[in-house]
Structure 1
Amino acid sequence: MRVLVVDPDPARAALVAEGLAGVEPLDVRHCAVFDHREAAAFEPDVVVVASDSPDRDTIESLREATATNPRPVVMFVDRSEAGLAEEAVRAGVSAYVVDGLSAARVRSVLEVAMSRFALMNQLRQDLEKAKADLASRKTVERAKALLMKERGLEEEAAYRLLRKLSMDTGRPLGAVAADLLAFAGVLKGDA
């Protein structure tokens, strides 16, 4: 497991490494402030941020880093202001623990955070796929309507024609439908 520990206090950062004793293979790196370039170069499996109190700059840096390169992030903070936990979670933090950093808890907190991250990542991917599928279906429906209008076809015949074009070209049905709509727009002078 590759762990990046971000903490200005080396003694507190050592608690994280101590809590991961026995994890094999283990590569723990420590830095005083979060640097998304360093995180990207190291490619950690999990980022652990420990501090007295989180600051908005760190949370914003995490937001930027997780947007481009998502990974589980755990924050251990000694104290927290109202709203910071929600802001941290919105920035991609998988676990936000207040006044709970101890070597005995580190491993279990990281495991839960990594599992939660994997679950949330899968949900995000499923949502994106569902959105893409819906957009493709809408495009296919519009292309069928165009074929029905322009060629006087029944709905089933229009769909069979789109499907045949898809198979003949080896391209997805949605892509063929999008091309048909684009070409129709060009021919009508819409583009």
Structure 2
Amino acid sequence: MRVLLVDPDPARAALVTEGLAGIDPLEVRHAAAFDEAAAAAFAPDVVVVAADSPDRDTLESLREASRANPRPVVMFVDRSEPGLAEEAVRAGVAAYVVDGLAPGRVRGVLEVAMSRFALMNQLRQDLAKAKADLASRKTVERAKALLMKERGLEEEEAYRVLRKLSMDAGRPIAAVAADLLAFAGVLKGEGP
């Protein structure tokens, strides 16, 4: 496991490193501050941030990094202000532990955070797929409606026409439907 440990305090960083003992294989890289370029070069499996209190710059850096390169992030803080835990979660932090850094807890917290991250990542992928499927269905429905209106077809007949065009072209039915809608728009003077 590759762990990027971000902590300006070497003593606290040593506690986190001690808590990682027994993980094999293990590679820990320590940094005083989070740097996305360095993190991307190292390609950690998990990022552990330990700090007195989370600062907004670190949270913003984590937010930007999570958009470009999502990875599990664990944050151990000595104290927290109201609202910072929510900001941390929005920045992609999978586990936010306040005043609970003990070597014996580190490994368990990391395992839970990595599992939670994997689950949330799968949910995000499922949501993106569902949205894409819905958009495809809407496109197919609009193309069917166009065929029904312009050619006087019943719904099943319009779908068969789309399916045949799809098979003949060797392309997904949603792509063929999008092309049909685009061509119809051009013919009506709506396109380029």
- If the length of structure 1 is used for normalisation, what is the TM-score? 0.99
What is the 5 A alignment of 1:169-184? 169-184=169-184
Deviation of 1:32 after TM superposition, in Å, equals 0.1
Q: In the alignment, what sits opposite 1:124? A: 124
Structure 1, unaligned stretches of length 5 or more?
none
Q: Distance in 2 between matches of 1:178 and 1:62?
A: 38
- Is it true that 1:83 corresponds to 2:96 in the alignment? no
What is the 5 A alignment of 1:1-191? 1-191=1-191
Residue identity (%): 84
Q: Distance in 2 between matches of 1:128 and 1:87?
A: 23
Q: Distance in 1 between matches of 2:166 and 2:16?
A: 54
Deviation string, structure 1 residues 77-135 (Cα, Å, up to 9, x no partner): 00000000000001100000000011100000000000000000000000111111111
Deviation of 1:16 after TM superposition, in Å, equals 1.3
Q: Distance in 1 between matches of 2:170 and 2:16?
A: 52
- If the length of structure 2 is used for normalisation, what is the TM-score? 0.98
Structure 2, unaligned stretches of length 5 or more?
none
Deviation of 1:11 after TM superposition, in Å, equals 1.3
Runs of 4+ residues over 3 Å off in structure 1: none
Partner amino acid for 2:46? V
Deviation of 1:15 after TM superposition, in Å, equals 1.3
- The DSSP-based 3-state class of the residue aligned with 1:101 is coil
Q: Distance in 2 between matches of 1:102 and 1:148?
A: 68
Q: What RMSD in Å do the two structures reach over aligned CA positions?
A: 0.6
Q: Distance in 1 between matches of 2:85 and 2:169?
A: 51
User: How many aligned residue pairs are there?
Assistant: 191
Q: Distance in 2 between matches of 1:87 and 1:162?
A: 47
Q: Distance in 2 between matches of 1:170 and 1:76?
A: 53
